[in-house]
């Protein structure tokens, strides 16, 4: 007995063509992580096995594996964690990134974050080695939700202490932080959003580094950054809101589907 609904609707089965395959969240997220890693590798933000990527889906965290080069990682190599860092599923012979504590603690304290990109990209890491925060030397810093990118204190990679240092240096709405003598972390509401933040941070770090080689860089004032934020507010409300929140303490004291995959949804240490 039928209720009148066509159970084959939308599958391609009515016209004799093969059914269209629906991509589930698990498969989609794994493929996005692989594609994003390869994209960042091609752009020079990742090298060999350094860095790691993750995406939060509900109460699970999908994270890249440890000690596999990005051009050799496949969807089946992505590990799935519980939010406390325990392993939910992982292919035999593969381990989750050793930076699991950093990723899981960030998701715990930052409900606004759905994806994390950690890299050892050249310019950002150089400034991290020097212990130099990145000031507002270019207005594009507003997309990172801050007017200065801070440096989290050094701790051994993969440790709970490093995770805590990042937590303490990286409060909302900030989207990027340098890790002393290590690298950088960028976050976003999607994997593309986080990857874009990582790329923006590396570009900004490159500008600052090169300017320092020549002389003393000019830093934009609070008033100049406020004007930028107002312009952003008209164009990209989510970015403007984050940037304005970053400016709020200064103002008080002085008077944003997948881009990596087609379809309906839109190495490592």
Q: For residues 164-181, give the mean pLDDT.
A: 96
pLDDT higher than 80, residue 210: yes
What is the chain's length? 269
pTM of the model: 0.81
d(CA 244, CA 144): 11
Tokens, residue 83: 């939010």
Q: What pLDDT digit, counting tens, does each position of 219-244 carry?
A: 999 999 999 988 877 776 555 555 55
Q: Give the single-character DSSP code of 53.
A: E
Residue 99 designated active-site: yes
The set of residues, in sequence order, having a beta carbon less than 8 Å from that of 66 and lying 6+ positions away, is 49, 94, 95, 96, 97, 98, 268, 269
In this prediction, residue 24 carries a pLDDT of: 72
23 pLDDT above the threshold of 80: no
Sequence-ordered list of residues with C-beta below 8 angstroms from that of 175, at least 6 positions apart, any chain = 143, 144, 145, 146, 186, 187, 188, 194, 197, 242
- Name 184's bridge partners: 119, 178
- Closest among 205, 229, 218 to 146, alpha carbons compared: 229
- Preceding omega of 173 cis (within 30 degrees of 0): yes
Spatial CA neighbour of 182 closest among 134, 99, 119: 119
Lowest mean pLDDT among 73-77, 171-175, 237-241, 255-259: 255-259
Domains in the chain and their CATH numbers?
25-253 (3.40.225.10)
pLDDT digits (tens, 9 = 90+) for 86-115: 999 999 999 999 999 999 999 999 999 999
- Asked whether 60 and 82 are in contact (CB, 8 A), the reply is yes
What per-residue confidence (pLDDT) applies to 239?
A: 55
Q: Check 27, 32, 69, 99 and give the catalytic one.
A: 99
At residue 230, the pLDDT reads 84
Rounded to whole angstroms, the Cα distance separating 15 from 179 reads: 56
- Between CA 186 and CA 169 the distance in angstroms is 12
Residue written as token pair 């929140």: 245
């Amino acid at each position: 007995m039928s209720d009148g609904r066509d159970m084959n609707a939308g599958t391609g089965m009515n016209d004799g063509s093969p059914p269209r395959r629906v991509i589930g969240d698990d498969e989609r997220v794994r493929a996005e992580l692989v594609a994003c890693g390869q994209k960042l590798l091609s752009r020079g933000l990742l090298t060999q096995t350094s860095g790691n990527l993750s995406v939060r889906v509900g109460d699970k965290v999908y994270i890249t594996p440890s000690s596999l080069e990005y051009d050799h990682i496949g969807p089946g190599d992505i590990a799935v964690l519980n939010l406390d860092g325990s392993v939910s599923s992982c292919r035999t012979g593969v381990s989750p990134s050793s930076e699991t504590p950093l990723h899981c603690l960030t998701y715990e304290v930052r409900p606004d974050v759905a994806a994390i990109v950690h890299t050892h990209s050249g310019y950002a890491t150089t400034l991290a080695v020097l212990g130099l925060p990145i000031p507002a030397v270019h207005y594009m810093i507003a997309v990172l939700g801050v007017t200065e990118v801070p440096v989290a204190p050094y701790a051994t990679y993969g440790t709970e202490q490093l995770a805590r240092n990042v937590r303490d240096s990286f409060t909302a709405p900030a989207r990027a932080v340098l890790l002393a003598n290590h690298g950088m972390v960028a976050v976003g509401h999607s994997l593309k959003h986080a990857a874009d933040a990582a790329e923006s941070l590396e570009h900004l770090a490159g500008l600052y580094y090169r300017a320092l080689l020549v002389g003393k860089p000019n830093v934009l004032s609070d008033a100049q950054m406020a004007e930028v934020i107002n312009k952003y507010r008209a164009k990209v409300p989510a970015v403007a809101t984050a940037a304005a929140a970053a400016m709020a303490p200064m103002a008080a004291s002085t008077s944003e589907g997948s881009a990596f995959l087609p379809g309906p949804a839109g190495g490592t240490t």
